[in-house]
Amino acid sequence: MAESKVSPLAPEGFPNLLPVPGVEMGAMHAGFRKRERPDLLFAVMSEGSVAAGVFTRSKAPAAPVDWCRDALLKSGGKVRALIVNAGNANAFTGEKGMKATVKSVETAAAIVDCAPEEVLACSTGVIGVPLNGDLFERPLKAIKDGMSGSMWREAAGAIMTTDTYPKGSCRVATVEGRPAVISGIAKGSGMIAPDMATMLGFVFTNAALTHGCLQKMLADATDRTFNSITVDGDTSTNDTCIAVATGAGAAYDPIDDPDDPRLADFRAKFDEVMTDLAQLIVRDGEGATKFVAITIEGAEDDAAARVIGKSVANSPLVKTAIAGEDPNWGRLVAAVGKAGEAAERDALQIWIGGQHVAKAGCVHPRYSEPVAAEHMKGQNIDIRIDVGVGEGTATVWTCDLTYDYIRINADYRS
């Protein structure tokens, strides 16, 4: 497949991610993908680190997903290493797939000197192609010899598939009067319709947290961020988001309650990192030229609002109208109506770019289509819909659907 040009919605450059005490990493080309570019990430965490994970709800999960779920249970959340390969999803590969995963984690565990269940493994790429577990040993040893705490851009680049740019975010929170760095990377461009998506996300911090506390925080944040994005309505076999807390340098005992007031600033900054990463994935949607925020109000509850928002965001008719810069608000009405959640037709209201388009179930008397069309010409599209039945709200982020999406996916395996 030919290299994709960088998304027009990409940030100006990769951000400055601060080292996280207790975390070192490295990356290199190991031969998992056809092109000669880094395709293996290896990260090592200090003793005492804990991890949490959220995973795809696909009924056909990849072998590494099964491994990570079981490993977190067996280890009680203890973690010493993370390995990620790109170019091969190791999904739908039968018994060979799990054997390859086990071989990779056993190799990493021997290098780090830890139990295999303290190694988490992720894969991304083509489905159905057996993964060669023998490819891990030499590059993992080479990466271990050259690790540092500052190789974030290299790490983010090594996990990309059809991504056009590496994705990262960083914040510094205060816990018990001490700084807690939160640095994260992610990959994703297509097959993005979480729960979750062909998305990998890894967030690291030196805050001192228990496994249970971190798991609850990650699950809650994922629901508000990665589970509120969609590119194409397709859910992957490999979605994984892992958070790691090393506790390195913390002068307090690990905090067990995510609602502990001492974590207020940390929770806010953690959510900001997760939001950044989620939105960066949408901005790199395959073929995307528009970043779209869809806010639903007046639903029965927040869950219903999200379902309606996803119905709008995943509608090919809505997404192609946005690509064509056509403010065809009738397609928004149709997408709300098909969502299967309560909505009051004669109370429905719509705004595009802040302009009141529809009110009381019909077009607003002062609606100006040229004004709406001008908004649609921009890169950032704002749509707000009130369905008139309750207090539920949700925001979903998506992108437009262009000819390039078809080109990229028709050519994915070549």
| Residue 198 a catalytic site member | yes
The verdict on whether residue 187 carries a ligand-binding annotation is yes
CB 154, CB 26: distance < 8 Å:
yes
* Tokens 């395709």 belong to residue: 39
DSSP readout, 108-171?
HHHHHTS-GGGEEEEEEEETTPPP-GGGSHHHHHHHHHT-BS--HHHHHHHT-SS-SS-EEEEE
CA distance 246 to 241: 17
The verdict on whether residue 319 carries a ligand-binding annotation is no
The verdict on whether residue 338 carries a ligand-binding annotation is no
Identify the active-site residue in 93, 164, 198, 235: 198
Name the 3-class secondary structure at 359: strand
The verdict on whether residue 96 carries a ligand-binding annotation is no
- Rg of the chain taking only CA atoms, in angstroms: 22
The verdict on whether residue 409 carries a ligand-binding annotation is yes
Name the 3-class secondary structure at 187: strand
Instruction: Compute the Cα dihedral for 111, 115, 120, 123 and give only its sign.
Output: positive
Candidates 337, 330, 336, 322; CA nearest to 376 is 322
Name the 3-class secondary structure at 26: strand
What lies within 8 Å, CB to CB, of 22 at 6+ separation is 45, 46, 49, 206, 246, 247, 248, 249
CA distance 319 to 321: 5
CB 376, CB 369: distance < 8 Å:
no
CA distance 341 to 161: 35
The verdict on whether residue 154 carries a ligand-binding annotation is no
Binding site members for substrate: 161, 187, 198, 286, 409, 414
Binding site members: 161, 187, 198, 286, 409, 414
Positions marked catalytic: 198
